């Protein structure tokens, strides 16, 4: 009878302190922990040490997926290492998270459904307000119309909107002739006033032009602009042809 010692290999089994145990092939690179009977590459674990397994004996051990059993030796179920359990744990955690998210989405969908089932209020059509046209002032109440009448009654000629002019008597000396032009305004010319006149002879022909200015003229006030021509002919007259109010 042959004497056997722990670490002996025979027919896909290894002798350990607990007796003969079938070898279980582990995937290459398994991190452990290791148990008696574990076969990693060409080495087997007795529970206390690793021993070399001859090639012919290692060939009798089923592969890591449990295939190719040896006749007369039960096919041990492959043992999963910790590295195999990690993906399973991660997958289970992912399923739990997806279930929670699905519950939240389902709850929000039910809330949205209840919200959409509420009756939609019918929009009310607001009537557009009608614009009221302001009545135009009558000549008796229009301030500018009254100013026009008052200016004409006092000998002024209307030369613009709320703007009136009256030419005074000429003042002639041996070199020039000057006409004082009185300007009245109902609206005011705060930025200046420009007056231009045409000089005509007795036949009505325009022989010269002249102009004058005022720095400003407040509303309701009168100002005098002097128009001068370089002639002492007393037969000349001046006609106002432009008044600009600024």
Please list the helix, strand and coil fractions of the chain in percent, rounded to the nearest 5, in that order.
Answer: 20, 30, 50
Q: Mean pLDDT, to the nearest integer, of 127-150? A: 72
Question: Residue 244 is encoded by which pair of tokens?
Answer: 């600009």
Comparing 65 with 89, which gets the higher pLDDT?
A: 65
Boundary-marking domain end, from 30, 62, 83: 83
At 66 the pLDDT is: 54
The verdict on 149 and 239 lying in the same domain is yes
Q: Mean pLDDT, to the nearest integer, of 157-182? A: 94
Residue pair 9/54 in contact by the 8 Å Cβ criterion = yes
Number of domains in the chain: 2
CATH at residue 221: 2.60.40
Boundary-marking domain end, from 83, 114, 136: 83
Tell me which residue range forms the domain holding 170: 145-245
At 87 the pLDDT is: 41
Residue 168, pLDDT above cutoff 80 = yes
Task: Give Rg (Cα) of the chain.
Answer: 61
Give whichever of 20-34, 70-84, 188-202 has the largest mean pLDDT: 188-202
Boundary-marking domain end, from 83, 101, 135: 83
Q: Mean pLDDT, to the nearest integer, of 125-142? A: 64
Quick: pLDDT tens for 67-115.
Answer: 544 433 334 444 444 444 334 334 444 343 334 444 433 444 444 444 4
Tell me if 152 is assigned to some domain: yes
Of the listed ranges 28-42, 51-65, 144-158, the least confidently predicted one is 51-65
Q: What global pTM score does this model have?
A: 0.43
């Amino acid at each position: 009878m042959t004497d056997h010692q722990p670490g002996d290999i025979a027919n896909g089994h290894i002798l350990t302190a607990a007796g003969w145990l079938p070898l279980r092939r582990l995937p290459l690179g398994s991190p452990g922990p290791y148990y008696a009977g574990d076969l990693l590459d060409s080495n087997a674990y007795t529970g206390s040490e690793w021993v070399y397994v001859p090639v012919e004996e290692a060939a009798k051990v089923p592969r890591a997926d449990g295939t190719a059993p040896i006749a007369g030796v039960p096919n041990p179920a492959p043992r999963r290492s910790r590295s195999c359990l990690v993906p399973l744990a991660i997958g289970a955690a992912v399923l739990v998270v997806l279930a929670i998210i699905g519950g939240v989405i389902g709850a929000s969908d039910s809330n949205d459904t209840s919200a959409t089932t509420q009756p939609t209020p019918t929009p009310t059509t607001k009537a557009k307000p009608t614009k009221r046209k302001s009545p135009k002032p009558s000549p008796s109440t229009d301030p500018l119309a009254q100013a026009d009448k008052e200016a004409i009654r006092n000998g002024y000629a209307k030369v613009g909107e709320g703007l009136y002019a009256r030419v005074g008597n000429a003042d002639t000396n041996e070199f020039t002739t000057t006409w004082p032009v009185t300007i009245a305004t109902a609206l005011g010319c705060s930025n200046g006033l420009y007056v231009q006149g045409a000089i005509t002879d007795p036949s009505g022909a325009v022989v010269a032009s002249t102009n004058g200015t005022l720095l400003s003229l407040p509303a309701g006030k009168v100002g005098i602009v002097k128009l001068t021509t370089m002639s002492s002919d007393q037969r000349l007259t001046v006609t106002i042809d432009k008044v600009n109010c600024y």
